[in-house]
Amino acid sequence: MSTAAAAGTWRLGDLEVNRVGYGAMRLTGNGMRGNSDGRPIDRGAAVRILHSAFERGVNHIDTAAFYFSPLRSANEIVNRALASWRDDVVVVTKVGPGRDPSGQWLAMARPDRLRGQVEENLRQLGRDHLDVVNLRVNDLGTSVAEHFGALAELREAGLVRHLGLSNVRPEHLAEAREIAPVVCVQNAYGLDRRRSDESGLVDLCRELGIAFVPYFALSGLRREAAAAPERDARVHTVARAHGATPAQIRLAWTLHRGPHVLAIPGTANPAHLAENIAAGALRLAEEELALLDEPDAAGA
């Protein structure tokens, strides 16, 4: 049985994690844009998925209080699943945006409201402190100083152990690091979505020893929606050579971007979970990486 340790480890501050983790958004039974099919995921099945992930070495979970659907909360499911694993799994959450009880998105929280968001995550996750909190940025043209400064105060108060950023540019990272240490940057990134390459952010994080954590690595431009059937002929070519699925090749390509790159694919399907974890053991040849890195690889 493949385990999440096959891809190696990285440190989020003083917390060592396996590079293949798990994103909890899909545990709510739908995406974040209201595209529910009306069939909420069974709580017991969701907990079993997480237990299976933990048993396979996954010790890094990405979640948020705003990951919820009409009948499910990702944080509540994570809390229940961690009952016997609490000291073995690093939980990363995020604050900044919010949703009202009906699911409608709210404006970015003011800096003085971030404590309330942190406390809500603490309540839902049943914890006295949060391992890592990412400041999720909505407007890329604004400063993060006030918001990140507010989180730094909560870190000093002991509510948060480490801080990170989400959906940012290099200038945001530089600004935040003037205030407090940054242990991770979480941006949309994948074979078809490489803005963080264009900005130099992936390489910058490596130089600084900061984890780069892609989201939408499999769904690409479809964002919260499930990944579409693979249409890139080169991905199929590499997949056949390894006896792997196209999704595994996409994850393997992401992990090959550097030892500081972590993967957080999410799924409610046990077979897909096993495949995602097994992708960490794939080793792509230089010529395969060159093939996948060609500029027109997407949509070929």
Which residues are part of the catalytic machinery? Answer: 67
CB 275 within 8 A of CB 248: yes
* DSSP structure class, residue 168: -
Which residues, including other chains, have CB under 8 Å from residue 294's CB and lie 6 or more apart? 234
| DSSP H or E segment with residue 257 | none
Pairing mode, strands 9-12 and 15-18: antiparallel
CB 214 within 8 A of CB 272: no
Helix (H, G, I), strand (E, B), or coil: what is residue 249?
Answer: helix
Interhelix angle 74-81/43-55, rounded to 10 degrees, is 50
CB 131 within 8 A of CB 12: yes
CB 190 within 8 A of CB 250: yes
Could you report how far apart the first and last alpha carbons of the chain are, in Å? 33
